[in-house]
Amino acid sequence: MSNLKLAFRFSLLTTVFLLFSSCADEQITAVKPAIIPVPTSQEIHKGTFMISNTTNINSDAEFLTVANFLKAFIENGSPIELQQSKGENTISFVKDNSLTNDEAYTLEVTSSAITIKAKTAKGAFYGVQSLRQLLPISFENGSYLENKVPVQNISIKDSPRFRYRGMHLDVGRHFFSVDFIKKYIDLLSMLKMNTFHWHLTEDQGWRIEIKKYPKLNEVAAYRKETLIGHYSDQPHQFDGKRYGGYYTQEQVKDIVAYATERQVTVIPEIEMPGHSQAALSAYPHLGCTGKPIEVATKWGVFEDIYCTKETTFKFLEDVLDEVMALFPGKYIHIGGDEAPKTRWKTCKNCQQVIKREGLKDEHELQSYFISRMEKYINSKGKQIIGWDEILEGGLAPNATVMSWRGTQGAVTAAKQHHDVILTPGSHCYFDHYQSTKEDEPVAIGGFLPLQKVYSFNPIPKELTQEEAKYVLGAQGNVWTEYMKTSEHVEYMAFPRMVALSEVVWSSPNNKNFENFRERLEIYQKRLDVRKVNYANHLYEVSGKSEIKDGSSYLTLTTSSKKKKIRYTTDGSIPNSNSTVYSSPIKVDKNTIIKAASFDNDLKVSSVFEQKIRLHKAVGKNITLNVEPHPKYNAGGTIALINGINGSNKRFGDKEWLGFSGKDVEMTIDLGKATEINTITTRFHNGKGQWIYAPSQVIISFPGNDEFLPIELESSDELMVDLKLSTKVTSQFVKIKVVNYGVIPDGKQGAGHKAWTFIDEIIIE
Ligand code: ACM
Ligand code: ZN
């Protein structure tokens, strides 16, 4: 029989299945298995199980809710009605105590039965999620019209790599409806994620009803207006519209029950001591100054935080009493991140607590704050999670650390034998851009494409095998400063959440991005039916410029080998008649190349566009005294003279080079004495990101007397242009870009050396 078994792995997707139903007169094709997250092992067998009106469903009592979930999915998805008797032609749920992992399951589809075995309801639920992906997509919205459906015969053995598989959502910056919260939970549960981290309180809004403190809902839940555009757009402008809302305790209970049915634990986050300006607006006496303050109307980190006086602890204990009664899970997230110590330093109360408790400084005061809250929460039988700042000044004894500023927090905490959850900005911040395309909706910054999420390994390499056991798992974070609508949240969360599901569930040995992408293509159709506004950059064309033998070439690639790229060089939008790309395009004049991916005649990507300006330095040699910072050197130093400008918005793209704190001296060798009329370039001036245009640039022509220091005026624009008009003939051009220096007080990054970001150096 073994030759009838098809080993799964990566041969699966290239195999075509034409399956025949048991009724010889009819041909219905079973869904080809393409399960996400990829199971531990799966063997496809010949034949199918036919679900029809004569199919039974039965279950061990323990799995009844899960069996009903499947029954409802099938019956809402199609005209099929399942029966309840036993015997042949049955879908059964069976308890299996031999499974070692609580969330493990096996799914066996044979021509006579479907059997899901699990040790707990969680495992059974995950078996259902895999089976769901073996059913036609039209089941997702009830548009399957046949009264029977074949399911591919298959044996699946599956269990998760990590026990914490989370998605976060910030409802403080923007508020989302109960229906959307349920949709989000439903979507993450389909991917076998088991935790929803609900970020409920922020400077810009308090979002959970607390009966004892009604002003949290009357005052703290509403801000008078909201910042328009990006934080770094200057000057700041506001929309003048009152904004807010909160979830009632009844709504919270409803959401928790909905999540429980989907085996999702909801972890509420009540931020302290920072990100608490909204609460202080309702109860100013909880701050150090006691002065009235507004709910924040723009983004950032705010200095008014909870004071460490007794009244604050009483307030927070009361709040947590109500919160803990609503959330049955083990964890309460208490925030702990981004709490400036400014107010504490000059507060009589706080300084007294430092003295009274024998603390060294304000960091130890934060540690005292968190430890004290932990003690209270522990006394109620719950555990705390905090962002990695809770390491500063000493970790509370039983705390779990959520490592967001890279992975160092996770390493430090795991080495101290504390549980950790990985959410580093580098791989888990789904508020970052996912494409370099210019027309992406405004995001906070950063760049986190799908493939990078997929490549994440939540176990930091600094940990020993023993220490790695403290890694509970990982989580995707969705901070919503720049997401006003649920559609936008979906756009940022999907498909990156799908990639993360495989990071936290699947065995690394089974992971392969090419294969994942093919399965994702299918999964996205499921998301289409569920009306999820996912981003689709799967077939996006990208370009790379190269210099060969002094000539400039543009190489185009698309992420799927099965798609064709077509392009134009006359500025027109590519269509199904445009030239098919086959090899790097030689660029011998100023050109605009437009390209797109095609599936036969159908355009399946947005249009990639690349202007190439063949100035005198293109293809020549450039040497630098310092290397660009590895994080901002994607294009290599050649990006400075490859004829391609950096993005007007994405300063981390491969055409902008970033330098940390140093003067940059470049020498361009034009190969022979060359007439030079203008030299132009530009600098990014993203002060919020610690990036400053230089105040001085010195241009000289070695072997020539010209020596031209150029002073640049300080500006609040995002980019500062430099243009030198001259008339020299020289083989070499030397450009010294003088670093801005130390960032002044009161600015983001004050006291640190500024970064320098440089675009194309255009010599004409
Ligand atoms: C965070 O992103 N401030 C945890
Ligand atoms: Zn104080």
Residues 133 and 156: beta-carbon distance below 8 Å: no
Does 68 score more than 90 pLDDT?
yes
SS3 content of the chain, % helix, strand, coil (to 5): 25, 30, 45
Q: Token pair 């006394």 is at which residue?
A: 379
User: How would you label 267-300 residue by residue, b for 16+ Cβ within 10 Å and e otherwise?
Assistant: bbbbbbbbbbbbbbbbbeebbbeeeebebbbbbe
Length of the chain: 764
Does 26 score more than 50 pLDDT?
no
Strand partners, 587: 552
CA distance 432 to 447: 5
CA distance 390 to 404: 12
What one-letter code names the amino acid at 167? M
CB atoms within 10 A of CB 705: 7
Q: What is the mean pLDDT of residues 35-62?
A: 97
Question: What is the per-residue pLDDT for 19?
Answer: 39
How far is ligand 1, taken at its centre, from the CA of residue 226, in Å? 20
CA distance 650 to 686: 11
276 HSE (CA, 13 A, CB side):
28
Q: Is the peptide bond before 744 cis (omega within 30 degrees of 0)?
A: no
Residue 338 beta carbon below 6 angstroms from any ligand 1 atom: yes
Q: What is the mean pLDDT of residues 199-205?
A: 98
pLDDT digits (tens, 9 = 90+) for 581-640: 999 999 988 999 999 999 888 888 889 999 999 999 998 999 999 999 988 888 888 899
- Closest by Cα among 141, 110, 97 to 45: 110
Question: What is the per-residue pLDDT for 604?
Answer: 87
Whole-structure pTM value: 0.84
Residues 204 and 186: beta-carbon distance below 8 Å: no
Strand partners, 593: 610
User: What radius of gyration, in Å, describes the C-alpha atoms of the chain?
Assistant: 29
Q: Is the dihedral of CA 315, 321, 322, 326 positive or negative?
A: positive
**Ligand in closest contact with the CA of 409:** 1
**Ligand in closest contact with the CA of 481:** 1
- Closest by Cα among 219, 235, 330 to 282: 219
How far is ligand 1, taken at its centre, from the CA of residue 426, in Å? 12
More confident residue, 711 or 209: 209
Does 1 score more than 70 pLDDT?
no
The DSSP secondary-structure symbol of 119 reads S
Does 240 score more than 60 pLDDT?
yes
Pocket residue to mutate for ligand 1, from 204, 338, 388, 432, most atoms within 8 A of Cβ: 338
CA distance 655 to 652: 8
Give Cβ neighbours of residue 553 (< 8 Å, ≥ 6 apart).
545, 546, 547, 584, 585, 586, 587
CB atoms within 10 A of CB 597: 27
- Closest by Cα among 510, 389, 517 to 450: 517
Does 532 score more than 70 pLDDT?
yes
Residues 426 and 404: beta-carbon distance below 8 Å: no
**Ligand in closest contact with the CA of 338:** 1
Q: Could you give the dihedral angle defined by the CA atoms of residues 199, 201, 203 and 204, in that order, rounded to the nearest 10 degrees?
A: 80
Residue 404 beta carbon below 6 angstroms from any ligand 1 atom: yes
Question: What is the per-residue pLDDT for 288?
Answer: 98
Ligand 1 atom, smallest distance to 479 CA: 2
Residue 20 has phi, psi (to 5 degrees) of -110, 135
Residue with CA nearest ligand 1 atom 3: 337
Residue 337 beta carbon below 6 angstroms from any ligand 1 atom: yes
Does 21 score more than 50 pLDDT?
no
What's the mean per-residue pLDDT of the chain?
Answer: 93
CB atoms within 10 A of CB 313: 17
pLDDT digits (tens, 9 = 90+) for 497-513: 999 999 999 999 999 99
Residue with CA nearest ligand 1 atom 2: 404
Residues 492 and 174: beta-carbon distance below 8 Å: no
What one-letter code names the amino acid at 93? F
CA distance 704 to 700: 8
Q: What is the mean pLDDT of residues 491-499?
A: 98
Pocket residue to mutate for ligand 1, from 168, 333, 387, most atoms within 8 A of Cβ: 387
> The tokens of 15 are what?
């195999």
> The tokens of 162 are what?
């990590």
Axis crossing angle, helix 64-77 with helix 121-132, rounded to the nearest 10: 20
How far is ligand 1, taken at its centre, from the CA of residue 404, in Å? 6
> The tokens of 624 are what?
């630098």
- Residues in the 5 Å CB sphere of ion ligand 2: 288, 307, 347, 349-350
SS3 at position 78: coil
pLDDT digits (tens, 9 = 90+) for 347-373: 999 999 999 999 999 999 999 999 999
What one-letter code names the amino acid at 630? P
- Closest by Cα among 425, 430, 442, 630 to 534: 430
pLDDT digits (tens, 9 = 90+) for 663-719: 999 999 999 999 999 999 999 998 888 899 998 999 999 877 767 788 888 888 889
Provide the phi-psi class of 665: left if phi over 0, else alpha when psi is between -120 and 50, else beta.
Answer: beta
Could you tell me whether strands 90-95 and 56-59 are parallel, antiparallel, or unpaired per DSSP bridges? parallel
Secondary structure string (H, E, C) spanning 662-717 = CCEEEEEEEEEEEEEEEEEEEEECCHHHCECCCCEEEEECCCCCCEEEEECCCCCC
CA distance 376 to 321: 10
Could you tell me whether strands 564-568 and 205-206 are parallel, antiparallel, or unpaired per DSSP bridges? unpaired
pLDDT digits (tens, 9 = 90+) for 308-337: 999 999 999 999 999 999 999 999 999 999
Pocket residue to mutate for ligand 1, from 401, 404, 426, most atoms within 8 A of Cβ: 404
Ligand 1 atom, smallest distance to 425 CA: 2
pLDDT digits (tens, 9 = 90+) for 456-485: 999 999 999 999 999 999 999 999 999 999
Residue 387 beta carbon below 6 angstroms from any ligand 1 atom: yes
Does 22 score more than 80 pLDDT?
no
What one-letter code names the amino acid at 454? Y
Least confident of 170-179, 371-380, 548-557: 548-557
How far is ligand 1, taken at its centre, from the CA of residue 524, in Å? 29
Question: What is the per-residue pLDDT for 706?
Answer: 67
Residue 596 has phi, psi (to 5 degrees) of -155, 160
Residue 67 has phi, psi (to 5 degrees) of -65, -40
Residues 676 and 685: beta-carbon distance below 8 Å: no
Q: What is the mean pLDDT of residues 120-141?
A: 98
Give Cβ neighbours of residue 3 (< 8 Å, ≥ 6 apart).
none
Does 160 score more than 90 pLDDT?
yes
Give Cβ neighbours of residue 329 (< 8 Å, ≥ 6 apart).
265, 266, 267
pLDDT digits (tens, 9 = 90+) for 636-663: 888 999 999 988 877 777 889 999 999 9
Residue 49 beta carbon below 6 angstroms from any ligand 1 atom: no
What one-letter code names the amino acid at 181? I
Least confident of 46-55, 412-421, 436-445, 573-582: 436-445
Strand partners, 759: none
The DSSP secondary-structure symbol of 220 reads T
Q: What is the mean pLDDT of residues 111-137?
A: 98
